[in-house]
Amino acid sequence: MSKEDLHIVKIGGNITGSPDKLADFLARFHKLEGKKIIVHGGGRQATALSEKLGIKAKMHEGRRITDDEAIDVAVQVYAGLVNKKIVAQLQSLGTNAVGLTGADMNLIKCSIRPKDPIDFGWVGDIEADSVNVEQLDKLLNTGAVPVFCAITHDGNGNLLNTNADTIASALSAGMAQKYSGVELTYCFEMPGVMRDIKDPNSLIREIDPTLYDQLKKDEVVKDGMIPKLDNAFDAIESGVSKVHIQEASTLGTESGTTLIK
Ligand SMILES: Nc1ncnc2c1ncn2[C@@H]1O[C@H](COP(=O)(O)OP(=O)(O)O)[C@@H](O)[C@H]1O
Ligand SMILES: CC(=O)N[C@@H](CCC(=O)OP(=O)(O)O)C(=O)O
C-alpha cells in the first residue's frame, strides 16, 4: 500500500451556487497539500435550470426522479456549467484541475437503480467495485487534481445521476485500498452537525454510531443530514481514516464535526 495520504472534499449546491462562497472554498482547497480530489453536487442549480426551462423538478426523499428530460438538465448543470466553472477557477489559482464524470476513463461505473418500489429513472447506485481505483491512481500520479461531478455511467452508453455525497463516500472507500491515509471532508454552509441549526454555538464536535442513533431518534439530525451521515459512517467502516463535516469557509482547519467509529 502507498504510504501517501489522499484528501477527498465534497461541496454541495449551497456552495457551488454562491460565487463568493465557492471562490473562498477553492482558495482554501488550492492551499491543501498533497493529493486531493473534489466531488461536487449542484442540486439547487439543477432545480433552478429545470424551472427556467419549464420542467418541474421531481424529488422523492431528497433524491431526484431523473426522467429523460431531467438527466439532460443534470448533465448540463453538473458536468457542464458547475464542473467547468470550478475547473477554470482552480486553474486560475494554479491547481491543475481536470473535470470528470464517472464515464471519463471509466472511473465510476454504476447500476441503474431498480425500478421497484419507485422508478427513479436515470439514477445510479454505486457498488463496492464501482470505482476504478487503478485508473484514478494513475491520474493522480500525473499531478492532476480530479474534480468529479454527480454524473456516472452504466457502461452501456447511459449517463446516470448519482448523489454527490455517495460518490464522495465510495471514492474514499475505494481509494482506501491504495492509500493508507484517506481523509474525507463534507463541506457545507453550517459549522458542522448542530444540536440546533439556528444556534451557531451548538456544534457537536464528535459523533459515534451510538450518539448518531440518539440524534436521529431525537430528530436533532434530519433531512439531508441523515443520508450525509449514513454515507460518512459507511466511509469510516470501509477503512477511511478520517471523516469530517464542516463549514466550507473553514476547510484546512480542525473545526467542525468529526465522526468516530
Ligand atoms: N443537526 C443538523 N445539523 C446541521 N444540518 C442539519 C442538521 N439536521 C438537518 N440538517 C440539514 O442538512 C442540510 C445539509 O444536507 P444537504 O442539503 O443534503 O447538504 P449539501 O448542501 O451538502 O448537499 C443542512 O443544510 C441542514 O438544513
Ligand atoms: C440522485 C440524486 O438525487 N442526485 C443529486 C445529485 C446532485 C447532488 O448530489 O447535489 P447536492 O450535493 O447539491 O445535493 C441531485 O440530482 O440532486
Residues 242-253 pLDDT 10s: 999 999 999 999
Give me ligand 1 centre to Cα 222, in Å: 8
Taking CA atoms only, the protein residue closest to ligand 1 atom 18 is: 224
Taking CA atoms only, the protein residue closest to ligand 2 atom 5 is: 163
Among candidate residues 138, 172, 32, 175, the one with its CA nearest the CA of residue 90: 32
pLDDT of residue 3: 66
Quick one: which atom of ligand 1 is closest to the CA of 220? 1
**The amino acid at 216:** K
Give me ligand 1 centre to Cα 8, in Å: 19
Give me ligand 2 centre to Cα 232, in Å: 16
Contact 80, 86 (CB under 8 A): no
Cis peptide before 117 (omega within 30 of 0): yes
Q: Kind of pairing, strands 2-11 and 145-148?
A: unpaired
161 is in an annotated binding site: yes
Other beta carbons within 10 angstroms of residue 52's beta carbon come to 8
pLDDT of residue 128: 83
Above 80 in pLDDT, residue 104?
yes
The reported pTM is: 0.97
pLDDT of residue 127: 87
Q: Kind of pairing, strands 151-153 and 257-259?
A: unpaired
- Please state the φ and ψ torsions of residue 120, each to the nearest 5 degrees: -85, -5
Other beta carbons within 10 angstroms of residue 137's beta carbon come to 18
CA-atom Rg of the chain in angstroms: 17
64 is in an annotated binding site: yes
Above 70 in pLDDT, residue 2?
no
Q: Which of 123, 163, 186, 189 has the most ligand 2 atoms within 8 A of CB, as the residue to mutate?
A: 163
Query: What is the percentage of the chain residues whose pLDDT exceeds 90?
Result: 95
Above 90 in pLDDT, residue 229?
yes
For 3-44, how does the pLDDT look when each residue is reduced to its tens digit (9 = 90+)?
A: 689 999 999 999 999 999 999 999 999 999 999 999 999 999
Structural domain boundaries in the chain: 2-259
Identify the three-state secondary structure at position 248. Answer: helix
Bridge partners (DSSP) listed for residue 7: 36, 183
List the CATH code of the domain at 2-259: 3.40.1160.10
Q: How far is 4 from 100, CA to CA, in rounded Å? A: 23
**How far is CA 166 from its chain centroid?**
6
Average pLDDT value for residue range 91-97: 98
For 148-168, how does the pLDDT look when each residue is reduced to its tens digit (9 = 90+)?
A: 999 999 999 999 999 999 999
Alpha helices in 94-150 (DSSP H): 133-141
pLDDT of residue 80: 98
pLDDT of residue 47: 97
Q: Which of 16, 38, 59, 64 has the most ligand 2 atoms within 8 A of CB, as the residue to mutate?
A: 64
Quick one: which atom of ligand 2 is closest to the CA of 120? 1
For 186-216, how does the pLDDT look when each residue is reduced to its tens digit (9 = 90+)?
A: 999 999 999 999 999 999 999 999 999 999 9
Average pLDDT value for residue range 93-120: 97
Among candidate residues 55, 66, 15, 9, the one with its CA nearest the CA of residue 32: 9
Q: Which of 197, 245, 247 has the most ligand 1 atoms within 8 A of CB, as the residue to mutate?
A: 197
3-state helix, strand, coil in the chain (%, to 5): 40, 25, 35
Give me ligand 2 centre to Cα 177, in Å: 26
How would residue 141 be classed by pLDDT, with cut points 50, 70 and 90? very high
Average pLDDT value for residue range 37-63: 94
pLDDT of residue 65: 97
Ligand lying nearest the CA atom of residue 163: 2
For 60, the enclosing helix (H) or strand (E) is: strand 59-60
pLDDT of residue 62: 76
Ligand lying nearest the CA atom of residue 221: 1
